[in-house]
Structure 1
């Protein structure tokens, strides 16, 4: 409980009046005693009124609060929370409300002041923007409650427990259903290469059409129907994709508002969405984290929800990536041939360890190493050079990139596919490579 400006103002006025009267008496001015009595009487009345107001404030019933909020939020996107307040006082009440938001969530439009009418509910809303993924718990709201005469205000804490989960930015995935997959992928910069030849999986028989190849003719069906019948093929729809996601210290690098790790998660979800729509199975394997996680490849749209729940609270560590241990973990669980996508941030010191691990995986699976490149490197390489310090920075950047490219060349020389891309372009690059390989039957 604390005094309001109204109480402090009245106290200041009455105390000032008594001080002036006392000073006048000390200076031997003729001040009527009645005026002294009135001044001290007003001060005493104010103190009694203040005491009564404090007692009534302590007895004032609490305000009831209910919170309506989404059960899940997308990282970096604004969401709305609604607070519903009611009270049982006989008179209208003006309160200030503040919701205690957990760390990791930024907010707008708090605190707010609103008037509560007897027997009615009042609503107030504010916005939340998650700054990191994970599980967040809300415990209480804070209400600034005024006294009946406005002399005091008290903080009341109302226990309102709620929880929400912050997932990777999956809003674009659901928005894709409205835009159409092809149009959506085009907006992301994904290019579907022109298909050469025929698909690998038989789909159906149909009448021969202009433009069909003679190799498509099914001669037995043609003889039975006495009209040209062609075989129609489609891309294989029973392939598997497994993401090997590095959770180590290198993925903590930041480009813009998101870390490399968050960009990698968004890219995994994007490719998972596309692959599941193509009829393929998608799984996940993490390494260099607090505890390895494994999600077996499964087909169907429900797998995307399982994938979201498996990664929403994943975080990076300060560990160094152990590619050999990660390869052993994957090979022990993934027996069927799959496209294994290793998402990491390569350095020249990873040469022997990564090549050995990738070759082990490559004996049974198709391997794609996706290496995230810091965007600041491209900016430094393209920046104008005018001074000696700028020349030194430019030389160091070029030397680092050349060393990095040499590692990629060594991986390619061992038959391993490498994708070197900035984090913001990883999703589109993975989808483009996946669709190209799928249409070429290169899994």
Structure 2
């Protein structure tokens, strides 16, 4: 498709100015200069390199974390014998927040050029940029040939994991403790046998293995380690309540961060952990495993989940979990403490799993609400905010008490502390 350039527009304006300065009687029609300009522009279009003769490739990373920076590039190869001046426009989604989507460049004959930009995604999910518009400018710079080509690419924007370093630190500490005094437990406490070794004065005589001692010249004791291959299932609420924002970030993002931290530590300690994401139906399900790439699999299963504006059906999710896990399981429910979802739906449904499972309920506390509840009352608006915040905090405390009364453990903490509190709760339960 032919297109004019800025130079053509300037030439047309110049002709208008010249025409105003010339006398009315001319030996040629007043429109003749315009016709000449159009003819020259048409010749320029004909001489321009066809955009579709160029080979265009896309260079994108496989994935980038939400809020992190990456580079998006187009590689332009000119197989012809003439250099080409190009204007390039890429159809990148606005939420990728590219520094620019338009470039001008020159590609010499039989070589390639590269144009790129920095992106910093502001939304999770799968992005598939495809359309690229090329405008090949003619040698006179008056007109160009334009074409839109398909250059498919795929980019996964995965959740941020801000607590990764803290989770890895807690994992390293837990591993050291397993090798230390806390790895030695009395038999019959649900721990796994580790090894037989010689008795030392610091050992409890009740740990002496008399059968092994009878075969050795010195007393032998049994040592135990924390149980491995425990099963954990994280139920991730992706319904209406997790769409609310805490610190300009949806609650779901904080719950995902806590989930990733728990997966990191649990798999590092050889426990099996899986994830079920649900609203009024199951949206994603990953069976428990302690394989080294389980975190990557959890990220893959959850990276494109967005909160749905529907009520969460906790009973259906718990029934789904109970049907698939007959053995004793630790069930972690990542949701929010509201009357509509917890008081009316989750509390009546918990007996489904409390008889044969350990239940932990995880929620994100909003520090801004706590600040409003403690703020001095300077005017009517401040009084209203304080009353509303106090009521909200009392409701959360009341719901947490009901859950604890049923036998569940509740972790209700603000962003920045939630992941650590959840991991510590898990480690204490081991």
Indicate the TM-score class for this superposition, using the shorter chain for normalisation. Answer: 0.7 to 0.9
The alpha carbon displacement at 1:343 in A equals: 1.0
Q: Distance in 2 between matches of 1:424 and 1:317?
A: 25
Q: 342, 366, 377: which one pairs with 1:374?
A: 366
Which residue of structure 2 aligns with residue 216 of structure 1? 207
Q: Distance in 1 between matches of 2:229 and 2:167?
A: 23
Q: 56, 68, 83: which one pairs with 1:92?
A: 83
Q: Distance in 2 between matches of 1:384 and 1:203?
A: 58
- CA, structure 1 residues 292+100, in 2 after alignment: closer, same or farther (shift >3 Å)? closer
- CA, structure 1 residues 238+61, in 2 after alignment: closer, same or farther (shift >3 Å)? closer
- CA, structure 1 residues 171+141, in 2 after alignment: closer, same or farther (shift >3 Å)? farther
Aligned pairs (5 A) from 1:8-87:
8-22=9-23, 45-57=36-48, 62-87=53-78
Q: Distance in 1 between matches of 2:135 and 2:157?
A: 30
**CA-to-partner distance for each residue in 1:295-316, whole Å, 9 max, x for gaps?**
2222221333332222222222
The alpha carbon displacement at 1:228 in A equals: 3.8
Q: 241, 251, 276: which one pairs with 1:260?
A: 251
TM-score by length of 1: 0.84
The alpha carbon displacement at 1:202 in A equals: 1.2
8 A Cα contact 1:61 1:87, kept in partner: no
TM-score by length of 2: 0.87
Q: 181, 191, 208: which one pairs with 2:168?
A: 181
Which residue of structure 2 aligns with residue 191 of structure 1? none
8 A Cα contact 2:131 2:152, kept in partner: yes
Aligned pairs (5 A) from 1:14-413:
14-22=15-23, 45-57=36-48, 62-102=53-93, 104-170=95-161, 173=164, 181-182=168-169, 195=182, 198=185, 200-209=191-200, 211-289=202-280, 291-349=282-340, 350-413=342-405
- CA, structure 1 residues 20+326, in 2 after alignment: closer, same or farther (shift >3 Å)? same
Q: SS where residue 263 of structure 2 aligns?
A: helix
**Bigger Cα displacement from structure 2, 78-87 vs 212-221:** 212-221
8 A Cα contact 1:66 1:160, kept in partner: yes
- CA, structure 1 residues 8+327, in 2 after alignment: closer, same or farther (shift >3 Å)? closer
Which residue of structure 2 aligns with residue 28 of structure 1? none
Please list every run of 5 or more consecutive structure 2 residues that lacks an aligned counterpart in the other structure.
174-180
Q: Distance in 1 between matches of 2:160 and 2:248?
A: 12
The alpha carbon displacement at 1:390 in A equals: 0.3
The alpha carbon displacement at 1:393 in A equals: 1.2
Q: Distance in 1 between matches of 2:310 and 2:381?
A: 33
Q: Distance in 2 between matches of 1:180 and 1:135?
A: 26
8 A Cα contact 1:15 1:43, kept in partner: no
8 A Cα contact 2:51 2:145, kept in partner: no
8 A Cα contact 2:51 2:135, kept in partner: no
The alpha carbon displacement at 1:89 in A equals: 4.2
**Higher Cα Rg, which structure:** 1
8 A Cα contact 2:56 2:151, kept in partner: yes
Q: SS where residue 384 of structure 1 aligns?
A: coil
